[in-house]
Amino acid sequence: MINKHRMNAGALALALALSLSGANALARQAPMVEPGRELLVSASASAPQTPERVRHAILEGASKYGWRVSEDKPGRIALAYDKGSHHVVIDVEYDAEGFQIKYRESADLNYELEDGKRYIHPNYNRWIANLGAAIRQSNAR
């Protein structure tokens, strides 16, 4: 009888550990923030905003945080970022008026599409917010 109770206690401890690790994994997932289109204003009246100026701001802002260019086509730059085992690729679409950051793919960031909503590791949202701020700051110069 004692062995049966020990076995049940062991099974209960294992189930509890598994449920806590599952809860911990879910804690590393948040609703994906999908930034809207960002309009940029030229920093100087004598230098009008152009697609090339916006492209330059994107590249300068990206380099500040370690993003690297994986594709560069007129109107769209694909940027990749690696942090430890985490990997993400985004598209930054742009024109003379502004830019928009769009998720493309990732690895080891707990990306999931559930009931029409996208979830991802919370660091992704922070990385994207930092990138957007760096692009705006680069454009303001």
Task: Give which of 61, 70, 76 is closest to 88, Cα–Cα.
Answer: 70
Model confidence pLDDT, tens digit, residues 54-82: 999 999 999 999 999 999 999 999 999 99
Element holding 60 (H helix, E strand):
helix 51-64
- Calpha distance 93→37 (Å, rounded): 9
What pTM was estimated for this model as a whole? 0.78
pLDDT of amino acid 85 = 93
Quick one: angle between helices 51-64 and 122-139, nearest 10?
130
pLDDT of amino acid 18 = 46
pLDDT of amino acid 1 = 52
